[in-house]
Structure 1
Amino acid sequence: MRTNYVLIDYENVQPEAMAVLSKEHFKVIVFVGANQAKVTFEVASALQQMGERAEYIKISGNGSNALDFHIAYYIGLLASKEPEACFHIVSKDTGFDPLINHLKGKKILACRSKDVTDIPIVKASNSKSPSEKIAVIIADLKRRGAAKPRAVKTLTSTISNMFQKQLSDEELQSLLLELQTKGIVSIAGTKVSYELPA
């Protein structure tokens, strides 16, 4: 499974449910502002348990968007080393959205979530009912923009990866059929087209 980097804007969001990032495919970087003297026990404890998959970066300067620029720098650095990785910025700051759109245009998977529990792969692993799974798939396809899978085989594999390869072949086929029934996906031979809801 691809590496999922979670870059947390700790000035903006102090997540409580850090344990959801304990799986091996997550690497977490918490960006702490120059004037922040401490992090919560829950965050420190969860990161300590992740060992080498987690780190803090305390920025050295103050100023408008100083922490945001650090996050943008690290995404660029990591994306050049691991272009297949997925990047999750955890922040309520919508100023990251143009950067995310630019990354998507470069075929780099990236998104912004307001909390760690809103990260798409976390939501997918917590969804139980078929309708919850369909909602997760639709949200992921919207986020992909022009980088949506164009072949049935690729779409099936994308959905399987979304749910950490925990779905049976029957469940995968059922989800594909549901997407077709709802008119979200059209399949012609091996090709896929989309009509995503607004």
Structure 2
Amino acid sequence: MMQTTTLVTREEYFDRLANSEIKLEYHGGEIVAMAGAQPTHNIIASNLISELVFCLKAKGCVVYNSDQLIKVESCDKYTFPDLVIVCQTPIYEKTPKGLDALENPEIIIEVLSESTESYDRLEKFDCYKTIPSFREYVLVSSRTKKIEVIKKLSEAEWLSHTYSDKDENVLISACTIRLTDIYNHVELPA
């Protein structure tokens, strides 16, 4: 049996988002509900926010948490990444119902889970690459001490560096962060 999906307009999406108690993403006419995160995911994201805010505040950068909606025009998407960093003047699309969508993210960080890893690595990354300001993608494992930092070299070339428990530090943007600080208070599966 074939399942049919009712497509909605952006206006309908923002109406639903304004009245929703959960985060909703917009994927080209489809609305996707975002599930709540596990404690490990939340602790890693909080640790990263703490470290990055401390490192980047003197540089005038803004670190956003997972409540910041971003617009990916070329893919007709609105998403809620785990963390977003902007070091230039933030540019927002004024959306209906007052939830402004960031248009110029520079660094996007996703804490991976089993259910989202493939989407974050492939489809989401391909869409993020179309944002002109986007220059660094960070994928953080919530199952093992592993962080992949992917930096833009040119429109067609990205350089990936993977950090693991063998590494003492991780370089995100201009910040050198201890791996143990990112995973502080995190209980990883054995």
What's the TM-score once normalised by structure 2's chain length?
0.29
The structure carrying a bigger strand percent of its residues is 2
Counting helix residues as a fraction of each chain, which structure ranks higher?
A: 1
